[in-house]
Structure formats: structure tokens, C-alpha cells
Structure 1
């Protein structure tokens, strides 16, 4: 099942909860003692920073796929740690990542040390709106990973965040992506309801994606309808990018939202009503649209508040799409507008040049 640890950090007692959560995630994928300790240090420092500099925030710990080579053999599971807050933001993120920036009474590690320990690290801050910090820890300590297209052969990648309803450790949402020789297939599934039964449906959709990513979106949805018959069903959207044709194919059944940005313009990609595994429409919708070098695709489950306004919520220029997804969640949520379901936001975007030294 899709295990996600959502830890609100509003006082010092929750820092320990963050450490316990990341150790649980590391054990879930079998990280060794050294890498588990590395992940715990990163997560604890990020939680401490939330309290010291933002008045609190939220830590999301998830197990996600990364590709260190061509699919399927190059796929590995890694621990992803995301810290988000609605604080004042960081005026100079580059300085915050430098050595010696850590303030008194913290661990003394600082964001710079977190960046060195993590295999992937990214920081995005908007003055007056808050900050998103993201780290991923792989199974073995390594030199910083090169740009992502060196792994998959594609100049783009997908990333996202998944927040379970009411702090549960199991999310009824799931997402996955599979890169191929010249195409990438992305799926978001929202099992009906929430909890373990919903997770069984969405996880079945992810397993089928890994078996059938070569199919077109309508063909894959037809396959998924059979694969999900023994579950309560799910809303599912599939996007497939063909770089040779410079086109994006999209098909969806149910209430998965999809929005495509090209330049400064947004376009909604509509799904068809129904439930994959239960009520399949007679004709599966299929939309094909151009994909430009600056295009960006956002897929999200219905846990995302309807008041989300894409042009204001989506940062430009972030090399990691999961940071963009987390910023959307941050800017679309508040204590006055609680979510009523699991929430997943996934972004597909070009890979920009690596800015790290």
C-alpha cells in the first residue's frame, strides 16, 4: 500500500515524531543503518528549521520511485522528505544553503549539510508565502546524482506529493511514472473513499502501469478496468508524452484534475465521468495536444481545494517537479479550509540545468 507519513510540526515534541516517521519509511524500503541515520538527520534538521524560522509547518515523508537507469531495471525506491510552511520565506536561499548558516540551538547541521547528505535536494522560497524544501535519500551514499536525463535518457521528469486524509499512514491515492526510450507515461489514481480499501485500488492501478506502460492511454485505461474489478474502483488519469512527436496524449475517467501550462497560458484537460473497475464509459476519451519545451503538466486528485489558481500557485524555474507540486499544496491549503480526502499533486516538467556547484 501507499504509505505516507504526514507530520505537523508546531512544537518541539513533533521533531521526534518526524525522526520516527522517517526511520519507519527507511525501514519500509530496507535502507541500511548509515543511510537511515542520514535520512533521520535531514528530516530532523528540516523540522527544527520549521520551528525556528517559520513558526511551524508540515513534514511529508513518502517512498517514491527514482530511476538510476532505464526502466524497469533502473527503478529503485527512495525516501522523499518534504518540508513546507507558510512562514515569511527566505530572502537569500543561496546563503541559507551555505556552510555556517545554521542558527543557535539547532542541530548545527544546516541546510548545506542536508544538501550534501541527501542524494537530491532542492529549496524554493517565496517571501511572504513560505518555503518548500525537498530531500531524497537513496539506498547507498553516493556522489551527487547527475542531471536526471542522464538516467532516463529523457529531458524531463515527474515528481509529486501525496498527503493522506486525517493523518493516516495509508493513502487512497497513488501515482507513478515510467520513462521509455522516447516517451514517458504518468498515472494518478484515486481509490474510492480513503483508507486501506481505497489504497488497494490505487496500488493495483500502479502495478498495472508498470506492466503496461507501452500501451496508449485509452488502451491502458481499458486494461486497468479489468485489473481493478476486484477492488472498489478508482478515478484514474493517464498522460503519455511522446518526445519524438512532441505531443501529449491524455485520457481520464473520474475526477482527476489535469492542467497543462505552455508559456503563461493554462489549459484544462478533461476526464470522462465513471469509475475504473466499476463503471467504464462506452467510449474512453482521448485528447492529444502539442508539448512545447516550456510545457508543464499538473495532475491532481480531488483533495486539492477548488480555489487553486494555477498562475499564482506554480513557481517557475524549479528543477524538481515535486517542489512545484508541494508549492501548489502549500499555496492551496490553510487551517480554515481543511481537506476532506487524500490529496495528491503530480507535476511533469522539463529538466532544467543543474545549478548545484
Structure 2
């Protein structure tokens, strides 16, 4: 299984997926997972970290990815020894002789190529060709991504939908109080978290928040959590924030997992009107804490948020603003937690193991 994503500066949802899946698969005696990563120094620590044995390729990340993409070398078996199946958990797909399983998180780069770098687009498109030519099985996290794959030429019978799970830490009132004090977040707040990049739609969220506050319908602060991604997004967000009262927005950067769990638990609402997601893990994490969610209608998030979430048109600032107002007044913590509890990493791992057996068989 490829686990290199966990060493990326911004591992994102793919890194969480790898860490949680390897942890859950470690409890399955029928599956022996060996991780494959690039060459790293001893001081380079993966966050989050995969569970189990990891072998290192002799090449650093960029060289390894290009070699896999263009040459289909080094083969996975040359690094790990004998294998029954190879699971590429991202678009970095090793060459190999045994059957191949690939997780396709989304095809956002085909839908909105302007939201990605030219180099990234070229790499992803080559990977799509490899998947179509070589993959025995394709795993996707949502029906939305499955439909997108079929629309772009993947064979429907090749694809299995395996939703992600969620793991929410227990958070007490004292934890929230301490985090608020350390972070300077004194007032009730609406939370967003993710990587600042164009498809996350943060500028429209900020504009909607400003409109709701200006109309006197919302008295909350806005808390934005996560690292910068690429493009002009962070500057665009800063320009949008300029119209808001001082102190009403908190840009907290990347939080560690423990603080992020507390930030979820302390929020009055979680807003995530992304333009496109393969799954939308932050929405499910917020729901697991019983926090009302605002997210995009017709998206992968709508598949699990359904009737317990507030669904909005992510291109309509007024509709997002109305959704924020509705969410902070929403009180169905038990329903939100119950819905999130249907999604477990144990169930996801069991389904992945079935895909491995099908590919190998």
C-alpha cells in the first residue's frame, strides 16, 4: 500500500484516509499491510502516521512519483518482496506484476483544471490513463465520485464505493475552555477547516458570513483552520475579510488533531460549502461531534449529511448566508451523531479487504 501521502507537507484528507485505514486493517488477521514510501531523513516524521511496517524506496518523493508515472519502475515487489495485490491510495501508482487496486478520491482536476497547477494536471492525467489500463479494482469514497469516474470512461463494474469512517475524540467543556483561551476565540463561532485552495470556496463563505453579520442575522465569529494551499486563495480571503469588524475572524492556521477535535466540539456550526469533494471528511467529523453543518447540495457531502445537514448552493452567497443562520439555530446533536456513527473505519477496512480479495482472486 502506498503511504507516502502521510509525509506530504499538507497530507489532507488522503493522509487521514491512509492513517485510519492502516490502523483498522491492522486488526484484520487476514490482511498483512506493507506500506511503501519515498526516501526520507530520520528527522522527517509523517503526520498523520501510517500503522505497520513501511519500506522506503531509494528515491525521494518527486523522483519516485515521476519514475512510477513515466517508467512504471521501481516495481512494488522489488521494494517489499512478494505481494498478492498493490493498493495505490492516491494518484502515485507503482509499477507491479500483481493485481492493482487504486483509490480514486475525486476527479476534481478534470472537472475544474484551473483549480490545479499545470504540473499537477499533467501528473493526474497520466495516472488516469494508468488506472484505466492496469487497475483490477477501483475504490471510491462516494457515489458522486463513482458517477464522475463512469462519466470519464471508467468501467462501472470495476468500481466499488467504500465510504470513509470517522473517529471523534471525547471532548469536555474544560477542553473547549482551554482551547478558546489559548486561541483567543472568546465568542460563539462558526468553524471552517481545510486547505486554502480555490475549490474550497472560502471566499464565498467569507462573503456570506459578512452578509449575515451585516444584516444582523448572525452574531458569531468565524474561525478558519488549516494551512495555505496554492494560488491566490489566501490573498483573496484576506481581501474578503477586510470588510468585517476587527476581531470577528480568527485565522488559526493548521491545528494538530487534538486541538482540531476541540475546535469542532466548541463550534455552534460548521460550514463547508466546497465546490467539489470526493468525500468531505471535515463535514462528517463535525457531525460526529453533534455540530450542525452547512455544506453543498448535490455533492458527496450531501450523501451522508442528507436531512440532518443544511444543504446550500455553493455558488450562491445569499443561500450560504441563509444556511449559516439556519445552522446556528439548529438543535439536533443526537441525530447528527447517530448519522455519523454509521460510518466507521472498521467497516471501511472490511470493505477494502473484500476488494483486495476480489482483485487477487
> Which of the two has greater strand per residue?
1
Structure showing greater Rg: 2
TM-score, L = length of structure 1: 0.27
TM-score, L = length of structure 2: 0.27
